[in-house]
Structure 1
Amino acid sequence: MTNLPSTLNDWLALLESRHAETVINMGLERVRAVKERMRLQFSCPVIMVAGTNGKGSTCSMLESILMRAGYKTGLYIKPHFLHFNERARLNGDMASDAELVASFNAVEAVRGDTPLTYFEFTTLAILHLLAHAGLDVAILEVGLGGRLDAVNVIDADVSIVTSVDIDHVDYLGGTREQIGFEKAGIFRTGKTAICSDPVPPQALIDHATEIGADLWLMGRDFNYSGDKQQWNYGGRGMRRNSLAYPSLRGANQLLNASAALAALEALKLELPVGAQEVRHGLVTVELPGRFQVLPGRPSVIYDVAHNPHAAAALNQNLGNMGYHPYTYAVFGSMHDKDIDGVIKAMSEHVDHWCLCTLPSPRAATASELAAKVQMIQPDQHEKTVNIFDDPAQAFANAISRAGENDRIVVFGSFLTVAGVMAAQKSALH
């Protein structure tokens, strides 16, 4: 192909059109073949993070702490909210269009007639970008599952599985044991394998044992304790005391922070990090859309909780926020999610549902969501359910009705949060 796209937007449009027919194509043979032709390898430690929930938070904490310690970091994280560039970060900054275009060209130059999905192609491009950036450490977030995810063509020095819960049933299976096995696919023989799920599936433990990975389990090999003011990490051979709570709010963040500190303990010879850097890194970490409370009134909270496990954590976090007369929920979801489970987990706190249809063929319609809400929360006094064509309209309705002491929680699919973020951004300009 001689005339390749010259802009990032044109490249993304080409990939979307080219791979419309290959939605998710399981198996790593094609990705591995192209990776070999690209001679893609990392000359720095690689930390890989999988899990149902908590992946992004754990990656961001690692990035923040390691940057404070003076290391040059590279991060692959997904999906993105407003710009594709958010997926590739160098020292905390988004990769430029030019860097991404060069890496897309590098994949295309050797791909030949090997078909790659949009996700596989962009993953190889971002891995190429990071591998050539002169990094001290690369942090890679795994997408769906683990074993068959395109990121897994790289061998990590430390692999983390944050939590194992039911999600993506069509691809990963319907039990925690099946999903645990898929996630454990990122573990490597002789390398550190960390699981911060307090109740790890036996299949994950068995797989780690079978391949001879060095498995670190929460509660056995590392742990945390704390009071209202501060918390402590205890690992196999390292304690870190009097730590500040992470700036990311929420019930599960100490599990995620402990996994990050276990990874740093495992890499203490290659990437030594001092107590001060850990404290600063945790206090300054930022991650959009994870129990993100915006300044101003009424309170607006963004959270990409789209499965029952994440929705239960969001519900708990809402309960810890103090009194608000009414809670408005702007909610949109993909069809294949456990929507009933998410609504049940959130119904305790939501008074007014503003339901929206998302811009994806996989989305549930607002009317379908409304039928589910009405089944789970039958006509209760003062509770309302309204439907909208998109997240921006749903949010505009919530803002128009909410009092200054109320709160609006925008949650569900990434597309729900991204739609509201984009609308608010254009309102500012």
Structure 2
Amino acid sequence: MSRFDADTLDAWLAHLEQSHPKEIDMGLTRVESVRAAMGMAPAFPLLTVGGTNGKGSVCAFLSTMLHAAGYRVGTYTSPHLSRYNERIAIGLVPVSDDEIVDAFRAIEAARGETSLSYFEFGTLAAMYCFMRAGVDAAVLEVGLGGRLDAINIFDADVAGVVSVDLDHQAFLGNDRESIGFEKAGIFRAGRPALCADPNPPQSLVGHAQAIGAPLRLIGRDFGCQREAEGNQWMCWTPEQRRHALPLPALRGAYQLGNAALALAMLDTLRDKLPVSIGQIKRGLIEVEWPARCQVLPGRPQVVLDVAHNPHAARVLAAALDQMGFAANRHAVFGMMADKDIAGVVALLKDSIDHWHLAAPALPRAASADMVAGLVAAAAPQAKLSRYDSVAAAWRGAEQLAGDSDRILAFGSFYTVAEVLAARGR
């Protein structure tokens, strides 16, 4: 069998998008066989983060705090916004094209007749880069679910589930109990497991008990709260209570729970990866994670958020309520057709006056006409404009918005990415 080879990352990615018969192909057998063939057995601690929403933010907190503590940390997240390299970072810096190409070549040489998906190639490439760089720890974000996600070929030293809600039902099940079981698949016997969902499914709790994973739950075993004076908060875990913490640089009250989960995860590894209170505070102040309720500088106010399911939309709506007055509230909106568009629109209809609708440039995207029908049904008083592209929708909103207005771009990673491209970012 001839091996594929190319000198550029773009050529490799184009090949990987076409080389496997399924875009999403759940299961660990194929990717595990290639991992074994490569002898890939990381000796450094692994911190794995799953959940319906919030995974990326928790990974950002973990990585930034560990980086502030002087550790060389690898971070693997998905999807990316602008460049594939964003998925694989070492020391908070995306790795180079050449490093990823070298990893892809090694995987291609080792896989034999085994076909791997785009995500599976990327997961192995991330670990190849981390091992080659000799990182002190790696933070891994689950791509989809947990039990059958490619990340799960690696045994987490600590695993955290941020939230459990409805998304990807075709792969994970149609209720929180089914989805909770899939998320809990990242837990390991005898190793700490944590869940920051305030109402954890019994399936998640039961799976942790069944395999002997010591489970810590938010509100019972760790937690957080705003402090009465100043912009500070406190976090408590079984190991210690931390007061006078600075509010995270990431916006939204929900980020306190994400930060608390990150701190609770770090506390379980305090013997291997000690982090001081000063380093934690620095991590909270310096953390960055784009397009999660991100407010760009300047006027009109521009807010970017990748919210693409009702759970995330509910959180976004609450965050928008806390941002204060905007004379006219515009939204550049596009979603995938397989998502709960009506559910998202219902939760945000009272936060938007003028919807600028377009389909992101990929086959799974819902048409502007389809989305317009759902918006019109939920918010008959709202203004609607349809466009041939997300870039055109952005330009339409930008032309109409005054200095006292707000433009929200949301609905999908792809929507936000195309807005960033239209803005020249």
Smaller-chain TM-score range? over 0.9
2:115 alignment partner in structure 1: 115
Q: In 1, are the aligned partners of 2:87 and 2:94 still within 8 Å (CA)?
A: yes
* 1:197-246: CA deviation from partner (whole Å, max 9, x where unpaired): 11101100000000000101101111112235211111112111110010
2:423 alignment partner in structure 1: 424
Q: Distance in 2 between the 1:62 and 1:2 partners?
A: 38
1:56 alignment partner in structure 2: 56
Q: Distance in 1 between the 2:347 and 2:208 partners?
A: 32
Q: In 1, are the aligned partners of 2:337 and 2:365 still within 8 Å (CA)?
A: yes
Q: Distance in 2 between the 1:372 and 1:411 partners?
A: 16
- Could you list the structure 1 runs, at least 4 aligned residues long, displaced by more than 4 angstroms after superposition: none
1:376 alignment partner in structure 2: 378
Q: Distance in 1 between the 2:170 and 2:290 partners?
A: 28
2:412 alignment partner in structure 1: 413
1:230 alignment partner in structure 2: 232
Q: Distance in 2 between the 1:154 and 1:3 partners?
A: 26
1:10 alignment partner in structure 2: 11
Say whether 1:171 aligns with 2:165: no
Say whether 1:299 aligns with 2:301: yes
Q: Distance in 1 between the 2:68 and 2:409 partners?
A: 31
Q: CA deviation at 1:23?
A: 2.1
- Structure 2: state its 5+ residue gaps: none
1:343 alignment partner in structure 2: 345
Q: Distance in 1 between the 2:67 and 2:35 partners?
A: 28
- Percent identity between the aligned chains? 50
1:71 alignment partner in structure 2: 71
Q: Distance in 1 between the 2:398 and 2:260 partners?
A: 37
Query: Secondary structure of 1:221's partner?
Result: coil
Say whether 1:275 aligns with 2:277: yes
Q: What is the letter of the counterpart of residue 223 of structure 1?
A: G
1:362 alignment partner in structure 2: 364
Query: Secondary structure of 1:216's partner?
Result: strand
1:255 alignment partner in structure 2: 257
* 1:7-44: CA deviation from partner (whole Å, max 9, x where unpaired): 1111111111212x222222110111011001111111
Cα gap change, 1:364 to 1:2, in 2 (>3 Å): closer
* 1:114-166: CA deviation from partner (whole Å, max 9, x where unpaired): 11111111211112111221111100000110000001000010000000010
Q: In 1, are the aligned partners of 2:248 and 2:255 still within 8 Å (CA)?
A: yes
Q: Distance in 1 between the 2:188 and 2:26 partners?
A: 20
TM-score normalised to the size of structure 1? Answer: 0.97
Q: Distance in 1 between the 2:321 and 2:3 partners?
A: 57
Q: Distance in 2 between the 1:178 and 1:166 partners?
A: 10
- State the Cα RMSD in Å: 1.0
1:375-394 equivalence runs, <5 A: 375-378=377-380, 380=381, 383-394=382-393
Q: What is the letter of the counterpart of residue 422 of structure 1?
A: A
Q: What is the letter of the counterpart of residue 13 of structure 1?
A: A
Query: Secondary structure of 2:333's partner?
Result: strand
Q: CA deviation at 1:271?
A: 0.6
More displaced stretch, 119-128 vs 141-150: 119-128
1:319 alignment partner in structure 2: 321
Q: CA deviation at 1:2?
A: 4.9
Cα gap change, 1:50 to 1:7, in 2 (>3 Å): same
Q: Distance in 2 between the 1:178 and 1:128 partners?
A: 32
* 1:361-408: CA deviation from partner (whole Å, max 9, x where unpaired): 111101100000011112x2xx31011122111010000001110000
- Structure 1: state its 5+ residue gaps: none
Q: CA deviation at 1:3?
A: 5.8
Query: Secondary structure of 2:81's partner?
Result: coil
Q: CA deviation at 1:423?
A: 1.3
More displaced stretch, 362-371 vs 120-129: 120-129
TM-score normalised to the size of structure 2? Answer: 0.98
Q: What is the letter of the counterpart of residue 401 of structure 1?
A: L
Q: In 1, are the aligned partners of 2:3 and 2:108 still within 8 Å (CA)?
A: no
1:239 alignment partner in structure 2: 241
Q: Distance in 2 between the 1:424 and 1:346 partners?
A: 24
Q: What is the letter of the counterpart of residue 90 of structure 1?
A: I
1:213 alignment partner in structure 2: 213
Aligned length: 422
2:106 alignment partner in structure 1: 106
Q: Distance in 2 between the 1:240 and 1:135 partners?
A: 28
